Every structure is written in C-alpha cells, then in structure tokens.
Amino acid sequence: MNIVRLRKASSKDKAIVVGFYNSIEQEEPFSLKREKKIANAILDEACFIILANRKAIGFVIFDYRFFDQGWIELIILDEAYRGKGIGGKVFDLLGEQCKAGKLFTSTNRSNTRMQKALAKAGFSFAGQLTGLDEGDPELFYYRLIKEENQSTEQS
C-alpha cells in the first residue's frame, strides 16, 4: 500500500515539476509561459510534490484564487501511479488542509478519466464554461469541506 503525502515544492523541485508536466503535454511544446507559471506557483508556496512511499510521483498546484475557495489548478500523476486511488488520497489531503468551505477544480469534457476520479472522490458537478478550449468545454467540480477544518483555523 502506498503512503501518500504532499510536501511544498521548493525551487530545487522545479525540474521535477517541469518533467511531470512535459510527460503529459507531449503534443504541445512546453512553453516558457507554463514554466513561469510553475516557478511562480513554487514561489507562492502553491505547488506541492505528490509523494508515494517518499518517491515523487507528481505534483499539484493548489491555492485560493478561485473566489477565495480552495482551487486545484492542476494535478499531474505519473502514468504508472494512475488508477490506484492515489489521486483520491491527494484530494483528501488537500481537503484536510483547505481553509475554505469548498474545494474546486476543473477539467476538459474530453478528460473522462479525471471526471471519473472526481466523482469517486466525492466531487459534485458545478457547471461548464465554453470558449477556453475550442470544442472542449471546461467542466467545474466542487467538494464541500468539513466544518471542523474551518473552525480549527479560526480558533
């Protein structure tokens, strides 16, 4: 069984994060804009390395820019670790640290694998936005966060 945890990425992790990103974006060349976005997420302490048994297997960018709610902007797992429940554990870990009432994320309509993972992790469909990726609407999902998370933060 994999012991999954998150650790904040440091500037030393930038190459690891870029490597995971490149592994899924093979049809599109890695842009300097995306590299800068990753570097900024690391500087803002919004990028977390996903570890399974102490091995880096992916990353997640998580912050509160989406209407002051928890926002999972991007999650990438190494292909070998997908479909093993690790994504669900990552969602749970983010939920535990979330200081807002809801945790949001989105995915393209074409990404049925992610949609299934979100449903399995207890996310509800919130709506869709067209116009971002031509012919492939962005689907938004949310998960309610337990009130205990918020009350301990306010104490």
The predicted-structure confidence for 126-138, as pLDDT tens digits, reads as follows 999 999 889 999 9
Contact 20, 79 (CB under 8 A): no
More confident residue, 105 or 152: 105
Rounded to whole angstroms, the Cα distance separating 83 from 146 reads 26
Tokens standing for residue 70:
């928890």
- What is 4-154's CATH number? 3.40.630.30
For residue range 27-62, list pLDDT tens digits in order: 555 555 778 888 999 999 999 999 999 999 999 999
Tokens standing for residue 62:
């998580």
Nearest to 107 by CA among 123, 86, 89: 123
Going from N- to C-terminal start, the domains of the chain cover 4-154
Report CA 30 to chain centroid distance, whole Å. Answer: 19
pLDDT of residue 35: 80
CB environment 70-106: b (16+ within 10 A), e (fewer): bbbbbbbbbeebbeeebbebbbebbbeebebebbbbb
